[in-house]
């Protein structure tokens, strides 16, 4: 069964809007696990507009499922994750002020840079994942750089899903097949939701993990966190 990692960035955004500790980020992480999440994802950005650097060691101390940290591999980010030693680090090519991750790495152009970063993560015993577009060549060069997994940027799939879901998923299916041939793991994330998630994992059942934040937290405003996580887990059943 594909694992569900809940991205709790949006919870931190709400907390930061008023200061203090409401909602309690650590309790939300505990509750996500209690309600069935297989992992917790965070993306600490340089401006700390949602997850703060100080949240990372605090979460590391309470998360009992898989802990995944996303981010651009700056020196500050690498120092943070090498100290925290999460289960997985997902490398994204975001600029410092970027609103959200909206593109994958050019793993050809940045091959040597990524290889050095991946070597550091491997040396620390941390599983690595590289965020890529649905492009078999990018997957091939991610594998050459030494990535344990790739994460497919699924924004274009979600955007095109309601128009023609078969056409929307075709490049992702092609890339996923190549990833499987390469013998590395496969994650997916961005704009996956209760509308489009089931079809994605039914078509590509060897996806190891999906990371979902924005849509899941929005659904939880109406359904409650426990029922929402159950609904997403139900989409992942094979």
Our answer to whether residue 190 is catalytic in this structure is yes
Active-site annotation holder among 33, 50, 66, 190: 190
Our answer to whether residue 70 is catalytic in this structure is yes
Active-site annotation holder among 70, 140, 151, 209: 70
Our answer to whether residue 50 is catalytic in this structure is no
Tokens of 214: 């924005």
Cα separation, 20 vs 93, in Å, equals 31
Angle at 57 between CA 44 and CA 122, to 5 degrees: 75
C-beta of residue 107 within 8 angstroms of C-beta of residue 138: yes
As a three-state string, the secondary structure of 14-81 is HHHHHCCCCCCHHHHHHHHHHCCCCEEEECCCCCCCCCCCCHHHHHHHHCCCEEEEEECCCHHHHHHH
Cα separation, 87 vs 184, in Å, equals 16
Active-site annotation holder among 33, 43, 151, 209: 43
Catalytic residues: 43, 70, 190
């Amino acid at each position: 069964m594909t694992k569900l990692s809940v991205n709790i960035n949006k919870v931190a955004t709400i907390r930061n809007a008023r200061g203090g500790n409401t909602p309690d980020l650590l309790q939300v992480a505990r509750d996500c696990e209690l309600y069935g999440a297989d992992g917790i994802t965070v993306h600490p950005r340089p401006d700390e507009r949602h997850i703060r650097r100080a949240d990372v060691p605090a979460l590391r101390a309470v998360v009992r499922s898989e802990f995944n940290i996303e981010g651009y591999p700056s020196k500050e980010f690498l120092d943070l994750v090498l100290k925290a030693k999460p289960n997985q680090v997902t490398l994204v090519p975001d600029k410092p002020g970027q609103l959200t991750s909206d593109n994958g790495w050019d793993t050809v152009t940045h091959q040597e840079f990524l290889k050095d970063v991946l070597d550091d993560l491997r040396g620390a015993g941390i599983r690595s994942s590289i965020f890529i577009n649905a492009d078999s060549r990018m997957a091939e060069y991610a594998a050459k750089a030494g990535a344990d997994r790739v994460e497919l940027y699924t924004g274009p799939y979600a955007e095109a899903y309601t128009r023609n879901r078969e056409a929307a998923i075709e490049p992702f299916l092609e890339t996923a097949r190549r990833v499987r041939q390469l013998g590395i793991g496969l994650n997916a994330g961005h704009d996956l939701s209760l509308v489009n998630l089931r079809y994605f994992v039914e078509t590509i059942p060897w996806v190891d993990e999906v990371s979902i934040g924005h849509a899941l937290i929005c659904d939880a405003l109406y359904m409650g966190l426990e029922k929402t996580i159950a609904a997403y887990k139900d989409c992942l059943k094979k």
